[in-house]
Structure 1
């Protein structure tokens, strides 16, 4: 991991960029953009290739160094993440509507450009029963990107992207995208 600071308060957490891998093998990249917004890319799992900017979320400190983030996507998917960055761990629960489990390819896009398609699909297809995925994850990267940095999640995921980020080939020393 690139950042070894200790996390205690919400101010320590906001502006942090993470890459983590769930125990089931799904790899995600996630950014605490500010106190009410997150950006993320999905690199592995049933919706690999999906990416989202400016997702409204509830972000709170549970206790020193432990943070809970929750949100509902336009797809109807609910997400709850408990970050324990000092331990390099998190626990996430994703509540996928039935339609996302049956038609994940609809969601594999830059969601911001297809909100209408997500809402339409949510109404068109069955929502229940939800496909619940509770998993622990290991944090494999933490970077201090600062808050409201639009370079963090600025393009679709590609094969090898997370390796590029972890090895320092993706961001410069000011946490700006190299070779935009």
Structure 2
């Protein structure tokens, strides 16, 4: 039997994380509550994309490790493991082919473009799927509280130059 309550997600909820994948991509994730994340992509294939209220499944794997998985309106599937004790992150992203062919279509605030994302997803092509499987170093962790709408509220290129050092 584990020495932790698998159903207790309180150690993860409300956390804002910034991390850099081994391939150089920079992402930011806010675990808004037990069912929702917001995220912002600072650079990489689909840099300057940001999303609010993405439905997710969160599972506590160990005392300071959780797994978060979701399917995006784009058709992209994501599964990540966050290790808060050792400050690392492992993510697997399953990109449909249309995103590799036209990554610029995903840039911007996804929530304002859901019908368009669904159109692109249905138009495809879906296959072959591109699997990105990378480790990342967590470079910033802060407890921002649950359901804080101010954590991720703009594109990465709109952040102050001293971000995240300017966070209170």
TM-score (norm 1): 0.86
Verify: 1:42 aligned to 2:41, yes or no. Answer: yes
Partner in structure 2 of residue 86 of structure 1: 85
Instruction: Give the deviation of 1:60 after TM superposition.
Output: 1.1
Equivalent pairs, count = 162
Partner in structure 2 of residue 14 of structure 1: 13
Instruction: Give the deviation of 1:125 after TM superposition.
Output: 2.0
Query: Residues 109 and 40 of structure 1: is their aligned pair in 2 closer, same or farther, counting only changes over 3 Å?
Result: same
Instruction: Give the deviation of 1:159 after TM superposition.
Output: 6.9
Instruction: Give the deviation of 1:156 after TM superposition.
Output: 1.3
Instruction: Give the deviation of 1:163 after TM superposition.
Output: 4.6
Q: Within 2, Cα distance between the matches of 1:50 and 1:164?
A: 17
Structure 1 stretches of at least 4 aligned residues deviating more than 3 Å after TM superposition: 159-163
5 Å matches for 1:115-154? 115-154=114-153
Q: Within 2, Cα distance between the matches of 1:135 and 1:67?
A: 16
- Secondary structure of the structure 1 residue equivalent to 2:32: strand
Whether the 8 Å CA contact 1:19–1:162 is kept in 2: the answer is no
Partner in structure 2 of residue 54 of structure 1: 53
Query: Unpaired runs of 5+ in structure 1?
Result: 1-7, 173-180
Give the superposed CA RMSD: 1.5
Partner in structure 1 of residue 104 of structure 2: 105
Q: Within 2, Cα distance between the matches of 1:160 and 1:38?
A: 19
Q: Within 2, Cα distance between the matches of 1:48 and 1:41?
A: 8
Instruction: Give the deviation of 1:161 after TM superposition.
Output: 5.0
Instruction: Give the deviation of 1:57 after TM superposition.
Output: 0.2
TM-score (norm 2): 0.92
Instruction: Give the deviation of 1:122 after TM superposition.
Output: 0.6
Structure 1 residues 136-155: Cα deviation after superposition (integer angstroms, max 9, x where no partner): 00000000101000000011
Instruction: Give the deviation of 1:162 after TM superposition.
Output: 7.8
Query: Residues 159 and 25 of structure 1: is their aligned pair in 2 closer, same or farther, counting only changes over 3 Å?
Result: farther
Q: Within 2, Cα distance between the matches of 1:156 and 1:83?
A: 23
